[in-house]
């Protein structure tokens, strides 16, 4: 499998846009999660702490291993920075996108980005970066612009914006029992985690190959995205020492690998139609 090309950005990345100054290739191709003070989730993509984190540009390739696929990437690369405070890990992901797509309507999708870690890190036998494989579980943290829009503007307000003339005089749950109302509640009725109201724009998931992606019962990951001047700036943060069997064990002084995926909703990318990267080494500074 073709190895992704990694370039280090020389300049700090601000909300004014991605810097055009690119340094020589990082010989080791390694992300370094810098140690920062504090505790708890790291959520601000505009925080000054990112200025001390090394920026690595990761090349993306079209997903054409399985169908439905894409023949060319809408997003060619993504710039990544990483920090941790000993308790929480955070990654700042930045890429160019001329349109902010944060609504889901017929034949139109939202922008998304995901980071992936192997649950059991073995440098001699890495799982597939394409969602892992049988017996080689991966943890996938996926931020969705549509989820964040719901949190910021309210799901009901978004629905009213899309369908301003819609009227509802009666809801089934007002006249039926709880069990009887389920057939009338669509995806919510069958416990689809994507259809539920959420407290975070990030889905904490696990997978062991194509078709096995499962949302974890307990969600700890969080995130925040800012779109400005044609650039997405997204932070994804998660606990380093999750004790579950579907999360990696990360701690200061350790190493692992991480992979990335980006969906451009304006180019009708969704599901397996995406741009993705191979594994990138990452170390966690003591």
Reported in sequence order, the residue ranges of 26-65 that DSSP labels E, i.e. its strands, are: 31-35, 55-59, 61-62
pTM, full prediction:
0.86
Element (H, E) at 259: strand 255-263
By C-alpha distance, which of 217, 258, 286 is closest to 92? 258
- Are the beta carbons of 129 and 276 closer than 8 angstroms? yes
- Are the beta carbons of 188 and 197 closer than 8 angstroms? no
- Are the beta carbons of 74 and 60 closer than 8 angstroms? no
Q: What is the pLDDT along the chain (286 residues), one digit of tens a residue?
A: 333 333 322 333 333 333 332 332 343 479 999 999 999 999 999 999 999 899 999 999 999 999 999 999 999 999 999 999 999 999 999 999 999 999 888 888 999 999 999 999 999 999 999 999 999 999 999 999 999 999 998 877 677 777 888 887 888 888 988 888 888 888 888 888 878 778 999 999 999 998 999 999 889 999 999 999 999 999 999 999 877 789 999 999 999 999 999 999 999 999 999 999 999 999 999 9
Q: What is the DSSP letter of 254?
A: -
Domains of the chain plus CATH, in order, are 6-284 (2.60.40.1190)
d(CA 31, CA 54): 7
Residue 10 structure tokens: 């020389």
- Are the beta carbons of 239 and 260 closer than 8 angstroms? no
């Amino acid at each position: 499998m073709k190895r992704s090309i990694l370039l280090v950005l020389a300049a700090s990345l601000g909300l004014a846009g991605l810097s055009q100054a690119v340094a020589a290739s990082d010989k080791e191709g390694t992300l370094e999660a810098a140690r920062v003070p504090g505790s708890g989730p790291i959520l601000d993509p505009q925080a000054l702490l990112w200025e001390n984190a090394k920026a690595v540009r990761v090349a993306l390739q079209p997903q054409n291993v399985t169908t439905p696929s894409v023949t060319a990437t809408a997003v060619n690369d993504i710039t990544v920075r990483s920090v941790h405070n000993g308790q929480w890990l955070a990654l700042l992901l930045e890429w160019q996108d001329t349109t902010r797509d944060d609504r889901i309507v017929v034949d139109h999708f939202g922008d998304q980005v995901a980071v992936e870690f192997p649950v059991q890190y073995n440098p001699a036998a890495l799982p597939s970066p394409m969602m892992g494989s049988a017996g080689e579980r991966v943890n996938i943290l996926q931020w969705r612009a549509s989820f964040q829009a719901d949190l910021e503007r309210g799901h009901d307000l978004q629905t009213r914006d899309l369908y301003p003339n819609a009227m509802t005089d009666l809801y089934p749950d007002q006249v039926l029992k709880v069990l009887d109302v389920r057939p009338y509640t669509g995806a919510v009725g069958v416990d689809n985690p994507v259809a539920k109201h959420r407290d975070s724009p990030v889905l904490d998931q696990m997978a062991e190959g194509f078709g096995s992606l499962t949302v974890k019962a307990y969600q700890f990951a969080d995130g925040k995205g800012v779109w400005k001047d044609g650039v997405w700036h997204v932070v994804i943060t998660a606990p380093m020492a999750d004790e579950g069997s579907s999360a990696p064990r990360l701690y200061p002084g350790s190493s692992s690998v991480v992979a990335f995926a980006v969906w451009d909703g304006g180019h009708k990318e969704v599901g397996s139609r995406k741009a993705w990267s191979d594994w990138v080494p990452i170390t966690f500074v003591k």
